[in-house]
Structure 1
Amino acid sequence: MATSDRSAADPALIRPMLAVPGPLPADDERAPDGSALWAYEVKWDGVRCVVEVASDGAVRLTTRAGNDATPRYPELASLGAQLGGRAAVLDGEVVVLDAKGRPDFGLLQRRMGVTNPRRAARLAVEYPVHLVLFDLMWLDGTSLLGRTYRERRAALAALGVSGPNWSAPGYIEGHGQEAWDATLRGGFEGVVAKRLSSRYTPGLRSPDWRKTKHLLTVDVIIGGWAEGRGGLAGLPGAVLVGLAEPEGLRYVGAVGSGMSERERHDLARYLGVIPRGGSPFANPVDVPAPHWVEPRLVAEITISGWTSGRVVRQPVWHRLRPDLTRLG
């Protein structure tokens, strides 16, 4: 029996459908009658969960890894009461919103892994989560996996789920560039494009769903490095970078992803001629056995955003900036 067949029979087996990374569809990609082929949603920066609501109102959240996340988020328990006895399986993302209404993964991390009831309840007050619902796979004993995205979204909207800690935001059809521009202005992680005719395929990464992230380019100052392991022994596994501020050079993270072997060898030579006895950073650096250097090299990196502690998220090395570097 196929996975989707088992899932249709047992909602507890449904796993999230996954998107492939790639560029957004072109706005002129339309059906022969001129209608839109794609829907566009915000890409939320949080924890993906399948949400099971029983007819008695009990709520269970399961992560992509199959872990029970229900005890972590007690403020979501009353979602079941709003469905008024209807049993459902929904797809969504758990986020913590900042003061501007944008997801802050750093704040969400304070909630992750906490299962002690008292502590979870206290954190629910300090850092309340918001459950963003964007799909409906099963309702009142009927599987919706074979329905189209448009049909499933209509069924989700008809449920009227809206509360202090959950919502089901809408989507737009056929205006990918507008969605891209709006999410960029709003400070969101990116856009997910979903084919309007797509069925829900549990646990599979489908080209019918595409995710595209916004990336920020930042110039940072190298103040140290951490030695690599294995074949990278003796070479920088990551460089320790910061930003110049009135209080001094502020450490913002370690960058190792994206470097070629040749770039690591080049960096080893450059960094070897500007060693320093102590940290050039004004704030602590939580990296074991760092090698400090004079803060003269400037690098360009891309990041997906910033944590609440003002540390770079998902940094990727791009290049050295010789036009900004001072080795003399």
Structure 2
Amino acid sequence: MVTLPRITPMLATPGRLPLPGGDDRWAVETKQDGQRAIVYLPGDGTLELRSRSGEVITRAYPDLLDIGGALPGAGAVLDGEIIALDEQGRADFERLHSRMGLVRAPAGAVERTARRAPAHLVVFDVMFLDGRSLVGQRYVERRQVLRSLGLEGPSCSVPGAATGRSAEALELTREQGLEGIVCKLLTSRYEPGVRSRSWIKIRNTLTVDAIVGGWVPGRGRLTGLPSALLLGQRDEGRLRYIGSVGTGWSEPERADLARLLSVAAVSTCPFTPAPRITGARWVLPRLVGEITHTSRTRAGYLRHPSWHRLRPDLAPEDTG
């Protein structure tokens, strides 16, 4: 059995197109919507999975244990993403979420959940192989090594990568309802633990006009100001809660929102059904905001919401 080095995952920096220096300098991969995992294969048929924080999460994914025999005797450290697929073969974070908290659950519960939501490992980098560190090699060289390992099967795969087609790839992921793309500089080295500009993640964003039905007060320096706004949409005559937003505004915008919320205060919840939110304060549902988000959960809640702007030109009845 090979002694493997502990490696912290390299992180991508959020960005947008066009890419610095032009498309020809970058490889483009589909951004996976799952749980990041560093995979340790000592070469004896076993494996260890560690999360981005370094926690050992192997026990939560017994359906990935067969990957331990993929590289007998070699010893490897791989970087990837654990996903769960929906009926269309797309990564479904909600399905995976039911697996992520099972590290300390009874074995029976883990196995039952694994049958309902099978996991799949997408391997996109190799940092150590057969006693040799590869972190100093360029992306294109590591990619060539990775493709040569034959990591294709029911429980793992290597994603495709294209060069010079970032805009096309982003549009394709948008059409397919995927999260976005990750662009990787062809000459980049693997930088453990670094949020690097050599990897740029670009998310597809959607917008929705949402009605503000309440807010959650901040603490400390934010006392009296909103830390989050509670959002809704009209649905068959009722205001249905679709989630909260707590990012995207400047401090002057936060202060302006606080003034608007104070004059609209009411004692009863405008949402039907009422969400259970500790410390929530309710307002007349007359303010409309434009919210960016990446997708929705099956229950209709916004994922990765961010405040974009107030829409004083829209009345609540104009949204939907």
Q: In the TM superposition, what is the alpha-carbon distance from 1:84 to its structure 2 partner? A: 4.1
1:209 is the counterpart of 2:199: yes
Q: In the TM superposition, what is the alpha-carbon distance from 1:244 to its structure 2 partner? A: 1.2
Q: Which residues of structure 2 form unaligned runs of 5+?
A: none
Q: Is the 8 A contact 2:4 2:75 kept in 1?
A: no
Alignment correspondent of 2:14: 21
2:141 to 151, 167, 172: 151
1:59 to 47, 50, 55: 47
Q: In the TM superposition, what is the alpha-carbon distance from 1:25 to its structure 2 partner? A: 4.7
Count of matched residue pairs: 314
C-alpha change, 1:149 and 1:261, in structure 2 (3 Å) is closer
- Distance in 1 (CA, whole Å) between partners of 2:306 and 2:225 is 17
Q: Is the 8 A contact 1:59 1:77 kept in 2?
A: yes
1:179 is the counterpart of 2:172: no
1:279 is the counterpart of 2:272: no
Q: Is the 8 A contact 2:78 2:128 kept in 1?
A: yes
Q: Is the 8 A contact 1:144 1:152 kept in 2?
A: yes
- Distance in 2 (CA, whole Å) between partners of 1:77 and 1:231 is 48
C-alpha change, 1:105 and 1:247, in structure 2 (3 Å) is farther
Q: Is the 8 A contact 1:39 1:174 kept in 2?
A: yes
Alignment correspondent of 2:96: 108
- Distance in 2 (CA, whole Å) between partners of 1:241 and 1:277 is 17
Q: In the TM superposition, what is the alpha-carbon distance from 1:27 to its structure 2 partner? A: 9.0
Amino acid at match of 2:68: G
- Distance in 2 (CA, whole Å) between partners of 1:253 and 1:79 is 38
1:163 is the counterpart of 2:156: no
Q: In the TM superposition, what is the alpha-carbon distance from 1:54 to its structure 2 partner? A: 2.0
- Distance in 2 (CA, whole Å) between partners of 1:274 and 1:200 is 52
Alignment correspondent of 1:33: none
Amino acid at match of 1:11: L
1:234 to 214, 218, 224: 224
Alignment correspondent of 1:218: 208
Question: Which is worse superposed, 207-216 or 16-25?
Answer: 16-25
Q: Which residues of structure 1 form unaligned runs of 5+?
A: 1-8, 31-35
Alignment correspondent of 2:58: 70
Alignment correspondent of 1:6: none
Q: In the TM superposition, what is the alpha-carbon distance from 1:13 to its structure 2 partner? A: 1.5
1:90 to 78, 85, 105: 78
- Distance in 2 (CA, whole Å) between partners of 1:45 and 1:210 is 15
The two structures have a TM-score, normalised by structure 1, of 0.88
The two structures have a TM-score, normalised by structure 2, of 0.90
- Distance in 1 (CA, whole Å) between partners of 2:120 and 2:298 is 17
- Distance in 2 (CA, whole Å) between partners of 1:200 and 1:28 is 20
Alignment correspondent of 2:28: 40
- Distance in 1 (CA, whole Å) between partners of 2:155 and 2:166 is 28
- Distance in 2 (CA, whole Å) between partners of 1:192 and 1:39 is 8
- Distance in 2 (CA, whole Å) between partners of 1:119 and 1:317 is 38
Q: Is the 8 A contact 1:247 1:282 kept in 2?
A: no
- Superposed, 1:189-204 pairs within 5 Å as 189-204=179-194
Q: Is the 8 A contact 2:3 2:42 kept in 1?
A: no
1:300 is the counterpart of 2:295: no
CA RMSD, Structure 1 to Structure 2 (Å): 2.2
1:252 to 242, 247, 271: 242
Amino acid at match of 1:19: A
Amino acid at match of 2:196: S
- Distance in 2 (CA, whole Å) between partners of 1:52 and 1:247 is 54
The superposition leaves residues 213-256 of structure 1 with CA deviations (integer Å, 9 ceiling, x where unpaired) of: 22211110111112121222223222110111126221011112
- Distance in 1 (CA, whole Å) between partners of 2:261 and 2:136 is 57
Alignment correspondent of 2:119: 129
SS in 1 for 2:243: strand
C-alpha change, 1:269 and 1:27, in structure 2 (3 Å) is closer
